[in-house]
Amino acid sequence: MIGSIRDLTRNMDGSYNLTVTVKDDPRSLVDQLKDTAVDVEIKKHLNHRSRDANAYAWVLIDKLAEALRIDKEDVYKQAIRSIGGVSTIVCVPDKALEALQNGWKTKGMGWQTETMPSKLEGCTNVVLYYGSSTYDTKQMSLLIDHLVQDAKEQGIETMPPAELERMMQHYQKHYARG
């Protein structure tokens, strides 16, 4: 469930009561689990990309691959490397570099690495790119904007800006609760 923390109080026995407000009806869950030990995990909510946005990105990737006569995977990977906010840079001991790169790539097609020299002897700086399956709406918008720009440069018809905005607004309204 998506909710927000409203209050925290401490009981006389040293335990705590955490008040969480949720939009979905939790009554059946409470009835089912009341007075039972449960595992509780609370983490910051992220607004993930919508399926419509992902599908549109892949339509553009397919059209670009056809126009450029290159693999769809190459179009996708280049687009990910071209936008900001979807990578992390780490300094890795040289002896661990290959294992990190191989492990990172197993997460999916968009999960890529680039290396550059480090000032630390025996280390390499690695840019770790995240695949779009982890993108929030802002990151997905950046990816789609990049793909739209590339498509326009190739003379490929794209979704009108108002329709694209409607798709992203629909997602925000229906999926981005919190």
pLDDT in tens, 28-65: 888 999 999 999 888 877 655 566 888 899 999 999 99
Answer yes or no: is 101 within a domain.
yes
Answer yes or no: is 166 within a domain.
yes
Question: Whole domain around residue 119: which residue ranges?
Answer: 51-175
> Which pLDDT score is estimated for 15?
94
> Which pLDDT score is estimated for 177?
38
CA-wise closest residue to 65 among 150, 173, 124:
150
Q: State the distance between the two ends of the chain, measured CA to CA, in whole angstroms.
A: 9
Answer yes or no: is 104 within a domain.
yes
E strand or H helix that includes residue 92: strand 87-93
- Which neighbouring-strand residues pair with 103? none
Residue 64 CB neighbours (<10 A): 22
What is the rounded distance in angstroms from the CA atom of residue 62 to the CA atom of residue 149?
14
pLDDT beneath 70, residues of the chain: 46-51, 168-178
Total number of domains constituting the chain: 1
